Amino acid sequence: MKPAAFEYHRPDTRPEALALLEQHGGDAKPLAGGQSLIPAMNFRLATPAVLVDLNRVGDLAYMRVDSGVLRIGAMTRHRDVERSEDVRRAAPLLFEAMPFIAHAAIRTRGTIGGSLAHADPAAELPAVMLALDATFRVESVRGAREIRATDFFTGLFGTALEPGELVTEIQIPVTPATGPRTGTAFTEFSRRHGDFALAGVAARVTTDERGTCVSARIALFGVGDRPMAAAAGARLLEGQTVSDDLLRATADATAREDIDPTGDIHASSRYRRHLAGVLTRRVVARAFERSRVTHEE
């Protein structure tokens, strides 16, 4: 299990990196944390001709909050995100999800941008970004553009990135700024701690002062070819106050209408759908609870 040979570049600056990606086009893979790419290369299921190692590019790792937006540089390591006070305050959902990603020794190397660009349908972060309505800044030698998470994930490991483009920054609207009564919650069901989830759910619920839901976002992972926004489920919540019946109806609608899971050796399509419903009910209930807590504070 040794990788096939490749041409290796380790640029020091962002323009150099973008130029290399442009020059090699589809033959080049950016190497961020490498925690998914190098295992695939060791199996020789990934055999990139050129690797552009981003680890020396200095200005891609940062976290800061400005004008209601949490900005995270794409090369920020998971470990730094999970330990960040800014993240805990500004994006509690992201903070809650971080420990579910693999294990500490993977999170020390893995990066937030790498994970999102990899777009594994069973990964936690893409769904979290959908639930938080995040936006990704992408750059190439031709310039920069911004892509909403809802438009970014296009299919199985598929993204809206064009050849030569690189995710450089993740922009997350600060949670309290979207409404004082906002609650978020995250959970997943996996066989073992750190494994890819058989199903997982991230939710964000905002209520008015009477506890009526004014907006809701639910995103699932592990149950489709990409992170799935549960539109039908979320729609049922809007204008309603929380009740067991509402939670059940939301979970049912999500499991029935919003996802179309495939089966694998760990979980059949039917079991995944069932889990998605159970987890949606639990997560949305917790998000509602937390929206009350924010309110009471």
Burial bucket for residue 170 (CB in 10 Å: 0-12, 13-18, 19+): buried
Which of 11, 20, 28, 29 is the binder for another protein (CB under 8 A)? 29
Return the sign of the alpha-carbon dihedral for residues 9, 13, 14, 20. Answer: negative
Determine how many CB atoms are found less than 10 A away from the CB of residue 96. Answer: 20
Burial bucket for residue 116 (CB in 10 Å: 0-12, 13-18, 19+): buried
197 in Cβ contact with 186 (< 8 Å): no
Residue 273 touching another protein (CB under 8 A): no
Query: What is the total count of residues that contact another protein (CB under 8 A)?
Result: 66
Return the sign of the alpha-carbon dihedral for residues 79, 80, 84, 90. Answer: negative
Residue 109 touching another protein (CB under 8 A): yes
Near another protein by CB under 8 A, which window of 172-180, 211-219, 237-245, 268-276? 268-276
The pair of structure tokens assigned to 287 is 């998000």
Residue 154 touching another protein (CB under 8 A): no
β-partners of residue 183 are: 205
Q: What's the closest the beta carbon of residue 283 comes to another protein, in angstroms?
A: 13
Q: Maximum CA pair distance of the chain?
A: 62
DSSP 8-class letter at 83: T
Which residue number, 95 or 206, has a Cβ lying nearer to another protein? 95
Helix (H, G, I), strand (E, B) or coil at 167: strand
* Length of the chain, in residues: 297
Residue 275 touching another protein (CB under 8 A): yes
Which of 13, 15, 68, 108 is the binder for another protein (CB under 8 A)? 108
CA distances from 179 to 89, 118, 239 (A): 14, 31, 15
Residue type, 99: P
**Rounded distance, CA 15 to CA 294, Å?**
43
Q: What's the closest the beta carbon of residue 269 comes to another protein, in angstroms?
A: 9
Q: Which of residues 68-107 bind another protein (CB under 8 A)?
A: 79, 102-106
Near another protein by CB under 8 A, which window of 67-75, 119-127, 213-221, 285-293? 119-127
Which of 5, 209, 244, 296 is the binder for another protein (CB under 8 A)? 5
Residue 40 touching another protein (CB under 8 A): yes
Which of 66, 85, 143, 192 is the binder for another protein (CB under 8 A)? 192
Residue 193 touching another protein (CB under 8 A): yes
Residue 37 touching another protein (CB under 8 A): yes
Residue 263 touching another protein (CB under 8 A): yes
| Crossing angle of helices 269-296 and 244-253, rounded to 10° | 140
Which of 7, 59, 146, 289 is the binder for another protein (CB under 8 A)? 7
Which residue number, 219 or 275, has a Cβ lying nearer to another protein? 275
**Rounded distance, CA 244 to CA 117, Å?**
37
Q: Residues interacting with another protein, by CB under 8 A?
A: 1-8, 10, 29, 31, 34-48, 51, 53, 55, 79, 102-106, 108-109, 118-122, 155-158, 189, 191-196, 198, 225, 262-268, 271, 274-275, 278
